[in-house]
Structure 1
Amino acid sequence: MNLAILQARMSSTRLPNKVLKKVNGKELLAYECERLLKSKKIDKLIIATSNDKSDDAIENFGTENNIKVFRGSLDDVLSRYYECAKEFRDKENIDDLNIIRVTGDCPIIDTEVIDEVIKSFEENDCEYTSNTLTPTYPDGMDIEICTFSALEYTYKNATFKSDREHVTLYIKNSDKFKKFNYEAKNDFSNLRLTVDEQNDFDLIKNILENLYPVNHDFTYLDVISYMTKNPNLFFVNSNIQRDEGLDKSLKEDGRK
């Protein structure tokens, strides 16, 4: 069973309420859920948000769109993931559960890439597979999958605040787990197709307004083709560093 857990909150410091910002009258979170639900490899999708009152809006979104919402710790996102996965596993009585991690700042995540990474995980008999160990895909195409046992071990053993906030960081840095990095044919890791700041939103808004009405299922390569024809778009958010939030957490923990 492949359970996708999509973490989302309203209290983003750089761009508050970003996940429910609308383009074409539709929330960014709705675009992302639509793409996840079209995956051939994902069996169940749950939105994992926090118990903070500000995230009542995300629970309401889930109710309105018939998507299950789990609520847990605001800052200890690892515990939110683990408790969500454990509740689902126990309720459904599932012995072999895999956890797919996606974040709420990836509204145009590519369904084909999702399925390719999950397929790679299955074929390589890994405990963790992602396309982020050595990034080759654009930021915003990030997909991770791990076994429930790997998530449980991490939940019980991770002590750094940054490990608790970034969920899979402990797995990435540990030699305990069998891991695999899924790579793109061409390296587009310098490209930002995620939403952390206003400039990111401006770019994604442009992409959705121009590509979505023509083809709901456009791929990241379609996006690159569109941007190549409109090269000014490459500079809209090019000043923003990849993984700024992670770098900040690592510095606060004295790990960088």
Structure 2
Amino acid sequence: MKALFICGSLNQTRMMYQISLHLPQFHANFTPYFCDGPGRLVQRTGALDFTVLGGEFHRQTAKFLTECGVNFDFEDVNGPYDLVLTCIDLIVPKRIRNSRLVLVQEGMTDPETPAYHLVRAPRLPRWLAQTSAKGLSNAYDLFRVASEGYRSLFERKGVRPEKIRVTGIPTFDHCAAYLDNDVPHRDHVLVATSDMRETFKFENRPKFIEKARRIAAGAEADAKIPSDCPLIDPDVIDQVLDRVMQSDCDYVSNLHLASWPDGNDVEVMRLDALETAWREAMLPMEREHTPPYLWERPERFKLANVRWDEEAAVTRDGSLSHRWTLDYAEDCAFIRQVFETLYPENPVFGVEDILDLLASRPQLADINERYLGVNWYRHHLHQLKTVDSRDTAHLSSLKV
């Protein structure tokens, strides 16, 4: 049996490749996203290069798949296939409609703008509404969605319930489990994310510090916990917050200097210090990441750090020896293994539980070992004064 995997953005392509590894019974072929009919003529002119139908999207897809050594079948010239998997159904080429078709959701969907409501009318192309119209083609046999929440969303949009299958738990969907605890600092959580970088839309990241200031208005302090830390220990967060409450520090963190396993990052800024950074920070790096303006000026701001091993004479840097954060496919595979092992018996597992797991199954750490120490510092070593090359790793030096 043979299967065709239709890719899209780089993230979607990586996902399709991972899926193919779980279907060894099929001879797998891959293609970048494509269309047929009049749209194909437009695609050939390059007019659609700003979309997943060409340009940088196609180049990244082709580069990744070439590095993986997969078989190509550009635009399904060698069909028909026993199974076709695609991550996009805004355009469904006619040549794949006679095969068993599975639509797979990757990532978030766009908001339901007026364009979304317009495409619900007959004959208006779904691509006008971008990913808010995902699933509306009804041209597939199965639709694999990311969570029960997305099942409800797509059913509300009109997707036939009998075609939907839930594949797993996204990294944020387990957050409700953390509500049942005795941590005193609660009820003030904001999760914000975007697909703008992946889809090459304009994103003013240096303006982020202004957004943080606006969101925190009226609060005593602003806590920053990155969204790429799904394994973060609530007790670690509480340790940092307790230090803030016990002192008159402008900035308290557990990562400057780093000591905790990477993926337990907590930073808390007094609001007046955040206001100062907002007024005075000039470097794009300082305005994007927010706290560097403070911790780069220890002579001006009062700083504190919560270490992993407060009683030890010498600080160990667990961020260089343990990687529990989420940036690469290998990170996701590692996190999945941790969740599948610990979550069923203890949904609110923490640092010590993960360390015990790694002690009993050290091979798990090998999954994403090649990215140990890789962080954003590496892009700004020429600007940072309190961080140097010992605090980060470079992708060019990774073992393959």
Change (3 A) 1:254 1:120: closer
Counterpart CA distance in 2 for 1:33 and 1:156 is: 36
The residue that corresponds to 1:163 in the other structure is 286
Counterpart CA distance in 1 for 2:235 and 2:169 is: 22
The residue that corresponds to 1:177 in the other structure is 301
- Partners of 2:229 and 2:264 within 8 A in 1: yes
The residue that corresponds to 2:378 in the other structure is 247
**1:16-31 equivalent positions in 2, closer than 5 A:** 25-31=168-174
- Partner-residue secondary structure (3-state), 1:165: helix
- Partners of 1:117 and 1:131 within 8 A in 2: yes
The TM-score, its normalising length taken from structure 2, stands at 0.49
Instruction: Work out which of the two has the higher radius of gyration on C-alpha atoms and give 1 or 2.
Output: 2
State yes or no: 1:131 paired with 2:254: yes
Please report how far the alpha carbon of residue 33 of structure 1 lies from its aligned counterpart in structure 2 after TM superposition: 6.6
Letter in 2 for 1:48: A
- Partner-residue secondary structure (3-state), 1:119: helix
Instruction: Provide Cα deviations, 1:150-188, integer angstroms capped at 9, x if missing partner.
Output: 111111111111111211111110132111010112743
Could you tell me which runs of 5 or more consecutive residues in structure 2 were left unpaired when the two chains were aligned: 1-9, 16-105, 110-145, 148-165, 389-400
- Partner-residue secondary structure (3-state), 1:46: coil
- Partners of 1:51 and 1:73 within 8 A in 2: no
Change (3 A) 1:254 1:134: closer
- Partners of 2:205 and 2:288 within 8 A in 1: no
Instruction: Provide Cα deviations, 1:180-200, integer angstroms capped at 9, x if missing partner.
Output: 010112743320110011111
Please report how far the alpha carbon of residue 241 of structure 1 lies from its aligned counterpart in structure 2 after TM superposition: 4.1
Letter in 1 for 2:232: I
Please report how far the alpha carbon of residue 27 of structure 1 lies from its aligned counterpart in structure 2 after TM superposition: 1.7
The residue that corresponds to 1:66 in the other structure is none
Q: Aligned residues, how many?
A: 220
Counterpart pick for 2:345 among 214, 226, 234: 214
Counterpart CA distance in 2 for 1:131 and 1:77 is: 22
State yes or no: 1:46 paired with 2:197: no
Please report how far the alpha carbon of residue 147 of structure 1 lies from its aligned counterpart in structure 2 after TM superposition: 0.7
Letter in 2 for 1:80: K
Please report how far the alpha carbon of residue 244 of structure 1 lies from its aligned counterpart in structure 2 after TM superposition: 2.7
The residue that corresponds to 1:64 in the other structure is none
Structure with greater helix share of residues:
1
Letter in 2 for 1:42: R
Please report how far the alpha carbon of residue 254 of structure 1 lies from its aligned counterpart in structure 2 after TM superposition: 8.8
Instruction: Provide Cα deviations, 1:77-116, integer angstroms capped at 9, x if missing partner.
Output: 2222112222xx2xxxx5xx11110110000110011111
Change (3 A) 1:121 1:207: same
State yes or no: 1:84 paired with 2:215: yes
- Partner-residue secondary structure (3-state), 1:29: coil
The residue that corresponds to 2:226 in the other structure is 103
- Partners of 1:48 and 1:84 within 8 A in 2: no
Instruction: Provide Cα deviations, 1:37-72, integer angstroms capped at 9, x if missing partner.
Output: 8542234111234595989xxxxxxxxxxxxxxxx9
**1:228-239 equivalent positions in 2, closer than 5 A:** 228-239=359-370
- Percent of counterpart pairs with the same letter? 25
- Partner-residue secondary structure (3-state), 2:348: coil
Change (3 A) 1:54 1:35: farther
Instruction: Provide Cα deviations, 1:95-141, integer angstroms capped at 9, x if missing partner.
Output: xx111101100001100111111101211221111101111110001
Aligned alpha-carbon RMSD (Å): 3.4
Counterpart CA distance in 2 for 1:162 and 1:156 is: 15
Structure with greater strand share of residues:
1
- Partners of 1:130 and 1:182 within 8 A in 2: yes
- Partners of 1:49 and 1:74 within 8 A in 2: no
